[in-house]
Structure 1
């Protein structure tokens, strides 16, 4: 589709701020949604992060590596945080952070018990809006814990809606809006609306907090927040303003301005050691002093000298009537204070930034896209942008402990797996990173982040590229080439989708930044070597990647549960590597157009792909195949101590992933890249049988694919069978043909696996997610992309039944279109306002239907959202589908 040439104001800001350290990127919603219960805050001997720093400690204990809070605004270095505190007059504590169950407490693993939605955001965070739904009744903390503990894995989770506190709309919607008048001048409004039938008290308590950097014995410099006497603010024309002087050794000097005269509650960002641990003495003004003052009327711990490192600004509204709203306004500004900080210009800035956000998204989401899909894309991207969090973790410092603290137990430094991350002492991150979910997964995961980058490239390609490169930098990527998986176990193995994502981001950014391709290619060469050297034990070109992010997809834990003496040659691990080689080959081809030194590198990846594809067909002297000719499917294969072979005959995504290993060589390769062309010619001459199955010429191009033209229709017949993988809402992760269970004899042990379309009914991997039936968005997107590649190349003349057995014959491009349509339709409201992808506990009515939910995964039959309910990470790929589909529609 054609694109107007005049840039929007937000596009101008992006052009002015391509780098992470640029001015417009200094402030954003970078505060974590949850810092407690994370590995980086865990200093225990047993590695039980949940128990070491529980929720009930969070309001009384200083964090070591970050901060958390509601609707947090932070500098990109994580020093200063402006968050929201709330109180409804009934809770036993200030609502400062989101509540959820820890992994041992939930009957299906960790689970947040709150409702909130990122409503809007621009990539420079010049504009952002966020909504929290706060019950008017006392928050049922104990009921949620007790009731979930009583439920088994065969029961639904007990959610906030099940407690009854949200009945009759008895809640207050609190909307927080950020708008920048300048890079270092941020306007913040907080509006609370009572939707219930009765007047309710509403206490709004915005809080300004310095992350504690001075208590650990590494840096004793102490910042300060000082309440300014009205007599010292003569530069302000408006007298109805409260001001705090903000000073920090790195950030410099800021002022927090508040409209009117809220009560200012000052204390320090320090642990209440007396209250928590019974210490004989402790900080005089610990961080929970604000909570004590608001909730219990106890001012004894507040600082009385007007200086602290944490401040709460307390507005109390005793009775907000039904349908009524109350608003407070703040402004965080560096340098000279504006003389009329809340005058008419304040409202103009908000109106201008909102209009600029509309103009920006009118450009991002192509014209002609239906309105409900536009909302879905914009909300998905808003969730990604609000999910960018400051992530600080220096593994060496964490393992050593702090000089001011007790020495860590020796068990922390034991070799993995007894110790955690002890082989990753080089990893030291202090960056804004895209998180999978701000509460349930407040830490990066490498393959998640790759998918995030593809969606983010539609709005902020510079940031998307930086994210992909960040994890390949020497302070993240292991010296042996492995990419860090996630903080619970950096040594775990994620699927190698980095190269695919880098290519997608390059295309979405206009296919012009070959410098980016060169950088990522250089580091992924190390990663390929790691895979070959560490995950191909026998040098067979078949790979043993382990669980590969798919948790319980197999009959056992593929990382730890392989029978002793056996090894598991994995269809998916091998397919991922074949696909990675093709992605790297495509990148090398692109770079070689302007630098012929990369021509030879492209042939290297071509040869590696051929070797892997050949191995998938037959390996070793036994000639056993991952492909099962009778079933028309790929399986994992167990190889025993005496080289006995047992296929794991379970039909899952594992057997469909070989479809991803496909690429089309562009027609210019023949003329521009003689080395690649010569290699192809030699292969056809000397290995004609192999080339016939793996290399398919068509028109002026060539297709490379693991799945040969004879097997493709057979595998697609499984994929598109509604009795197997094809659900109304995408491709299932396990065949529905296993509804009644399939019993497997695996290395002498008998196990049964059953199609489970919803939440997991086993404790494998904590029972926190389920790959035995539901629809997972990212793998579906990869399959759609692969089908489009086939349709572009050797599959252009292939027709298949859709669905299988229907008699309806379609081209592969139409298959991709229909799968894409099913995925996007998860977010389209029906006549009653509900979306197929709404979670069970998502309420009914206009107050709920206005807000799509981006769940972690989706029920394989009904499409209902499951798992993390704010998974605006990989599920945000729906924005990629919507925007890409809109661009494929020709101009009228």
Structure 2
């Protein structure tokens, strides 16, 4: 994808480039998770029951071991001091201290947050941030949400908070939480609650400050316990030996409340408490009015300022706070509004420059909220696997060991970093292939942060000694697609185009670690040593007839079209990186040669599986399939899925100008092509220069590519009005069936949530549209266009009679993806099909959620609804669309 992002500095951009780490202006940020209960890290059960060990109901009373959570919160870069907002509508039996949702087993499609909240704005250094939470004035329907999900099966949709009708009469608060930094350690906080009903309504606002509990686990080196102290009703003093002294100034607070961030063992386990004032003390006091739950001496490790306000109907109230290392004496709010306005102006200036190509106000709003979601989804991620497996010397309840030792082969893994999360409620944990996609959008905001994300998970305290990159928290040993090299090159390109110079040191550093990972793939996932790869899961969850991560029920193994396509892509990514480094460090030409030849061997193997005469390409269907090898036979699994499109990803362009600068590499390439005609025949048109004297390396020749594109652009198969489906619609009428000893295994096109529990949760690649693979397809097609140019024409859509260049068709696919979020000719946004409240209500209609995936037929948002991580790629697609519009006229198709 082309980038033209060279920018002049502005104040926020100067802050970004003042430091490359997460200190300075980025020391404090939205690093607090939205869910720590129900995570693997907090699970000390015998059998690995993460969802049951600490539930939402237990969370207010149980001290966390590895992280913290809250609403609209922030923390320092090591999560020692945390701040978040809590609320009480004077109706609920508990305060709204953390977001509610269903556990994996409770939801009919897996874990599912049951709240409405939106990330509206953030600068990369978090000098300004804004978030919205919609809080009902009626009792929150906790029980109804659980019961409704319990009575729905996999064939039914999820029951959402809006389905309860609780917003129908506008009896709710729009609570805006805003932050503005005066400097690195001086943060202004503004909370504005709008009453959207016509009637006055009471609201208690509880800005809450606390320390992550590091002292309760029996380790002498962590025995130190920091202190919060109250000063009258308006100041909370913070004393932490690592961070120093701060104050939280609370303008016009009614009172200050203190307790300890320690477990209420009596409530949870019937064991006497060590503390008189436990973690749930403030909750208990607010909901009962009994002051015995809070410390009258105004001291503790958790504290809230209490604001009880009656919000007039149709009106709002605002409270102001300031968290600062400075001493402001009697006037901490004298310059408050001035600073807030200045930071907002700087944020607008930053985005005006970043979005200078995008003139459509609707698309600018979508893009800016996508960027906001990317930046709000940062999290302090802490996990010492060795310590966790052993259990702590002192725990709220005795540790009985683990019958199921999850991640037991990853004892070396010790993470304590700010990481980009897929979704801080539904997926608030490490996920490697998600992270790779995140970095592309993050690179346009903050190249330093994007590069650090790619580098850190290759460090020795993440990567396994055998070279495997950890997959995700639930199973680090699972196999994710090898997209890290691709993301590294893309981030390098974006950074280079923004700053005028490529970061070769970054490229070289990552390249060395990726060599280890590449070797792991070759040694562990090429079962027969014939350059055909399996891998199992590969991120595509339930795409196949069997769970590909598990042993096959009939024995044998699968050789995967996607696994082999991914690895062919990996070799070409490594080849391109090696060539770039070799321009300044010529010795890397040897590595470029190595990956060139490795790519040829994979291409040869795909054509003829290790000499067995079986090809992953089926001449009858003109499509790629997996091959199933059983003890008795081998056969193609003829499922028309994303698996068969992934070989398109393996494409790279080398131009003559580059080759002339790398003479050793050029000589080796020419030698191979001359002396190995069997391999030379696999390189698409190497001796026929393309557009601008370029040469194409691809698994696909022109004919095969055209045949894949014919299926991909067929609206009765892969092409939806909203992008490329994960499974062909052909399987809606003709499901794929596999007969195993009389038992029928079926793969059917399902455009929405999964109908099968294969791979669990709400995972579903049997029809919906996923942004990451769509983005990879677009990126790959642009490379094909850069080689073939305008003369290579395809029919788009298939059977439409319209022909155009590859780039023109690619632009139209990008537009279909963008159209998920923009209003159609009926005035509705496809992502919110079925919810007129979201379409028309003035307090909803310009707000955006960035879902995990989308309905294959109507574009409705599905799965996790804050998965801005990879769906945030819509921001890049909008940029691409406008660059195309600047470069040429709108797409004009020819008619056959």
Normalised TM-score (structure 1): 0.96
Q: Is the 8 A contact 2:441 2:872 kept in 1?
A: yes
Corresponding residue for 2:802?
808
Partner SS, residue 702 of structure 1: strand
Corresponding residue for 1:683?
672
CA deviation vs aligned residue, 1:221-256 (integer Å, no higher than 9, x gap): 010000124xxxxxxxxxxx7111100011111111
Corresponding residue for 2:272?
280
Separation in 1 of the partners of 2:710 and 2:264? 63
Corresponding residue for 1:877?
873
**Structure 2: tracts of 5 or more residues without a match:** 889-896
Corresponding residue for 2:630?
640
Separation in 2 of the partners of 1:796 and 1:829? 31
Deviation at 1:482, TM superposition (A): 0.5
Cα 1:746–1:543 change in 2 (3 A) is farther
1:626 aligns with 2:627: no
Name the stretch that deviates more: 528-537 or 760-769: 760-769
Separation in 1 of the partners of 2:8 and 2:807? 33
Among candidates 859, 870, 879, match of residue 863 of structure 1: 859
CA deviation vs aligned residue, 1:553-603 (integer Å, no higher than 9, x gap): 111111115234211000001100000110111001001000001011011
Separation in 1 of the partners of 2:442 and 2:16? 13
Cα 1:398–1:181 change in 2 (3 A) is same
Deviation at 1:542, TM superposition (A): 0.5
Corresponding residue for 1:259?
251
Among candidates 223, 228, 247, match of residue 225 of structure 1: 228
Q: Is the 8 A contact 1:646 1:747 kept in 2?
A: no
Q: Give aligned pairs, total.
A: 872
Q: Is the 8 A contact 1:200 1:321 kept in 2?
A: yes
Deviation at 1:438, TM superposition (A): 1.1
Deviation at 1:337, TM superposition (A): 2.8
Separation in 2 of the partners of 1:62 and 1:834? 44
Partner SS, residue 610 of structure 1: helix
Separation in 1 of the partners of 2:87 and 2:449? 33
Corresponding residue for 2:96?
95
CA deviation vs aligned residue, 1:339-368 (integer Å, no higher than 9, x gap): 52111x110111011111011011111334
Partner SS, residue 293 of structure 2: coil
Name the stretch that deviates more: 433-442 or 840-849: 840-849
Q: Is the 8 A contact 1:839 1:866 kept in 2?
A: no
Q: Is the 8 A contact 1:649 1:744 kept in 2?
A: no
Among candidates 419, 426, 430, match of residue 444 of structure 1: 430
Separation in 2 of the partners of 1:772 and 1:174? 38
Among candidates 284, 295, 306, match of residue 292 of structure 1: 284
Corresponding residue for 2:696?
703
Deviation at 1:843, TM superposition (A): 2.9
Corresponding residue for 1:722?
715
Cα 1:289–1:831 change in 2 (3 A) is farther
Partner SS, residue 340 of structure 1: coil
Separation in 1 of the partners of 2:578 and 2:506? 12
Separation in 1 of the partners of 2:882 and 2:242? 45
Corresponding residue for 1:739?
732
Separation in 2 of the partners of 1:312 and 1:5? 43
Corresponding residue for 2:892?
none
Show the 5 A alignment for 1:355-366. Answer: 355-366=345-356
Among candidates 655, 658, 665, match of residue 666 of structure 1: 655
Separation in 2 of the partners of 1:801 and 1:527? 39
Deviation at 1:336, TM superposition (A): 2.7
Corresponding residue for 2:891?
none
Separation in 2 of the partners of 1:32 and 1:831? 38
Show the 5 A alignment for 1:140-155. Answer: 140-155=141-156
Partner SS, residue 180 of structure 1: strand
Deviation at 1:114, TM superposition (A): 0.5
Show the 5 A alignment for 1:328-339. Answer: 328-337=319-328, 339=330
Cα 1:407–1:289 change in 2 (3 A) is closer
Corresponding residue for 1:235?
none
1:775 aligns with 2:776: no
Corresponding residue for 2:785?
791
Show the 5 A alignment for 1:339-738. Answer: 339-343=330-334, 345-405=335-395, 408-412=399-403, 418-510=404-496, 511-560=501-550, 562-642=552-632, 644-696=633-685, 697-699=688-690, 700-738=693-731
Deviation at 1:306, TM superposition (A): 1.8
Separation in 2 of the partners of 1:543 and 1:263? 63
Cα 1:891–1:640 change in 2 (3 A) is closer
Cα 1:68–1:125 change in 2 (3 A) is same
Deviation at 1:2, TM superposition (A): 7.3
Corresponding residue for 2:74?
73
Deviation at 1:420, TM superposition (A): 0.3
Deviation at 1:156, TM superposition (A): 1.4
Cα 1:832–1:293 change in 2 (3 A) is farther
Partner SS, residue 803 of structure 1: coil
Cα 1:684–1:280 change in 2 (3 A) is closer
Cα 1:158–1:692 change in 2 (3 A) is same
Partner SS, residue 458 of structure 1: helix
Q: Is the 8 A contact 1:626 1:634 kept in 2?
A: yes
Corresponding residue for 1:415?
none
Corresponding residue for 1:321?
312
Partner SS, residue 752 of structure 1: strand
Separation in 2 of the partners of 1:796 and 1:420? 53
Q: Is the 8 A contact 1:66 1:211 kept in 2?
A: yes
Partner SS, residue 457 of structure 1: helix
Corresponding residue for 1:173?
174
Name the stretch that deviates more: 378-387 or 156-165: 156-165
Deviation at 1:741, TM superposition (A): 3.8
Separation in 2 of the partners of 1:367 and 1:536? 45
Name the stretch that deviates more: 280-289 or 709-718: 280-289
Deviation at 1:370, TM superposition (A): 1.5
Separation in 2 of the partners of 1:670 and 1:526? 26
1:847 aligns with 2:840: no
Q: Is the 8 A contact 1:71 1:130 kept in 2?
A: yes
Deviation at 1:762, TM superposition (A): 1.1
Deviation at 1:404, TM superposition (A): 1.3
Partner SS, residue 410 of structure 2: coil
Q: Is the 8 A contact 1:743 1:750 kept in 2?
A: no
> How large is the Cα RMSD of the aligned pairs?
1.6
Cα 1:91–1:651 change in 2 (3 A) is same
Q: Is the 8 A contact 1:273 1:283 kept in 2?
A: no
Cα 1:653–1:598 change in 2 (3 A) is same
